[in-house]
Amino acid sequence: MDMAVDAAVIKQHLIDPEICIRCNTCEATCPVGAITHDDNNYVVRADVCNGCMACISPCPTGSIDNWRTMPLARAYSIEEQLTWEELPPELTPDELAADGLAPSTGDAAQPSAPAAAVEPGTQVFRSAQYGATVPPWSAAHPYTNLFPPRSPTTATVVGNFNCTEAGFESETHHVVLDFGSMPFPVLEGQSIGIIPPGTDALGKAHHARQYSVASPRNGERPGYNNLALTVKRVTTDHDGNPVRGIASNYICDLKVGDQVQVVGPFGSSFLMPNHPRSHIVMICTGTGSAPMRAMTEWRRRLRNSGKFEGGKLMLFFGARTQQELPYFGPLQNLPKDFIDINLAFSRTAGQPKRYVQDLMRERAADLAALLRDDSSHFYVCGLKSMEEGVVIALRDIASEAGLDWDTVGAALQREGRLHLETY
C-alpha cells in the first residue's frame, strides 16, 4: 500500500477507547513495543509505531484500526490519548492547510521515527510471529460484535460454582449465562465481555472485561441458548500484593437469577477445526483452560453421538497445585482413549517445579509426529509468561526431529494451525 510521501504529515495510529475492551491483544502482538496502557486506555506511541499492521487482524473488536492524518509536530502524545473517552475527529483540510500542509492520501501509517534497532548479530526469538491470525480452513463461520460496548445485551445467571477444590484461597468459578430468546451464537475459542456495574475512582463507568467461552457451540446445556465462563477470583496482583479484581469478584459473587450486561461475541481466528480427523493439541494454564474445555466438550459430544471419527486430542495443562487446577475432577473422568491428558504443577510441596513446556519435551516423540502432520492444530492459552517457553519447546522438538522450524513454524502460522492467546 502507498505510504505518505511528506514526512511532516503522518497517519497516526490510534485506538478507539469506546470500542476497545482492554483485552491486551494489541500490546502483546506489537513487535516493536509501540502500544502501552494504563487503567483507562490502550494507546499507541507515534514515535515508535512503524505501521507494520501486525496488531490489526488479531484485535477482536476492530478498535485498533483507526488512523488520523496529522502534522508530525502535532501528533497526539500518549499522555493525551490516555485521557480520551472517544477519538478526536479528523483534522479538516482547512486545519491542515493552516499548518501549511496537505493531507496524505496514503492508506498506511508513515512512521515518525524508526523502531529501535537490534544490535548486529543479535538473535531475537519472538514467539508472537508464529501465532496465526486466520482460522483453520475447516472452522465454522463465527459471528462477532453483535453487541458492541455501546449496546450490550442482558444475560441471566443460571449457574455458578467453584470448579477448583474448596477450602483454598485461590478459587475459580464456572459461571453459566442464559440469553433467553436473544440471539448470541458462539463458537469454541470465542470470548465475550462482561461489564461490571458501577464506576471507577474517577466516576467513569467500568469497561468490559473479556472472558473466553468455556462451553461448546450448542450451549453448556445442550440445546439451550446459554454459555459458560471460567473466571478466577482475583485477590492479589502479579507481585502478590492484596488487590480486589473488580470484574472477577463481581462475576464470582453472582447468584442464580442475577442479570449481567454482555458484549460481543469476539474472536474470528482462535477457532477449532471442524474436519473430524484433525488433531488438536491444547496447551494452557489456569483459566486459559476455558477454550480448551469448550473444544474438548464439543468433540466429546460428537464422539458420543456415534457418528464421529475424531483425530487425536492432547492436553498440556498447568497450575500451581492440583487444588487450583480448574475442572480437575471432571478431567479424570474423560476416557483415556479420547484425550491424552498431561498435568504440570509448579508449586507442589516437596516436588520440583514443572511447567507445561517441560511436559511437552517429555512427549517430544508424539509432538514431533503431530508437527509432521498437516492435520494437526495447536492452541496456546494462559499467562503471557508461558507463551515463549511453549513455542521454543515446539521449535526444539521440531529441530531435534530433523524438521526445519522456520518452514514448520511459517506453515503453522500461515495455515491457521498455531494459535496463541495469552494475557
In angstroms, rounded to a whole number, what is the distance separating the alpha carbons of residues 148 and 242? 32
Locate 238 and state its grid cell. Answer: 502479579
What is the per-residue pLDDT for 203?
85
C-alpha cell at 226: 446459554
Q: Is 257 left (phi over 0), alpha (psi -120 to 50) or beta?
A: left
CATH number given to 153-266: 2.40.30.10
What confidence score (pLDDT) does residue 237 get? 72
Q: DSSP H helical segments within 169-229, as ranges?
A: none
Predicted pLDDT of residue 381: 94
DSSP state of 96: H
pTM for the model stands at 0.84
Q: Residue 104: which residues within 8 A CB-CB, separation 6 or more?
A: 4, 5, 6, 9, 10, 11, 69, 110
DSSP per-residue codes, 225-258: SEEEEEEEPP-B-TTS-B---HHHHHHHT--TT-
- Expressed in angstroms, the distance from the first to the final Cα of the chain is 31
pLDDT at position 167 is: 60
> What is the reported pLDDT for 164?
86
Alpha helix ranges (H) inside 244-310: 246-252, 289-304
Cell digits of residue 67: 488512523
Task: Tell me if the domain spanning 1-123 has CATH number 3.30.70.20.
Answer: yes
Of residues 331, 381, 340, the one with CA closest to residue 165 = 331
CA distance 40 to 38: 5
Beta bridge partners of 173: 162, 231
* Tens-level pLDDT at each residue, the chain (423 residues): 343 334 478 888 999 888 888 888 888 888 888 999 987 889 999 889 988 888 887 788 888 888 888 888 888 999 999 999 889 888 888 777 776 665 444 443 344 444 444 444 445 677 888 999 899 999 999 999 999 988 999 999 999 999 888 666 678 999 999 999 999 999 999 999 999 999 888 788 888 999 999 999 999 999 899 999 999 998 877 777 888 889 999 999 999 999 999 999 999 999 999 998 999 999 999 899 999 999 999 999 998 887 677 899 999 999 988 888 888 889 989 999 999 999 999 888 888 899 999 999 999 999 999 999 999 999 999 988 889 999 999 999 999 999 999 999 999 999 999 999 988
Span 129-140+269-422 CATH architecture = 3-Layer(aba) Sandwich (3.40)
Number of Cβ atoms within 10 Å of the Cβ of 80: 11
Q: How many helices (H) and strands (E) does the chain have?
A: 10, 15
Where in the chain are the domains? 1-123, 129-140+269-422, 153-266
Alpha carbons within 13 A on the beta-carbon side of 155: 30
What pLDDT is stored for residue 210 in this prediction? 92
Distance CA 132, CA 71 (A): 35
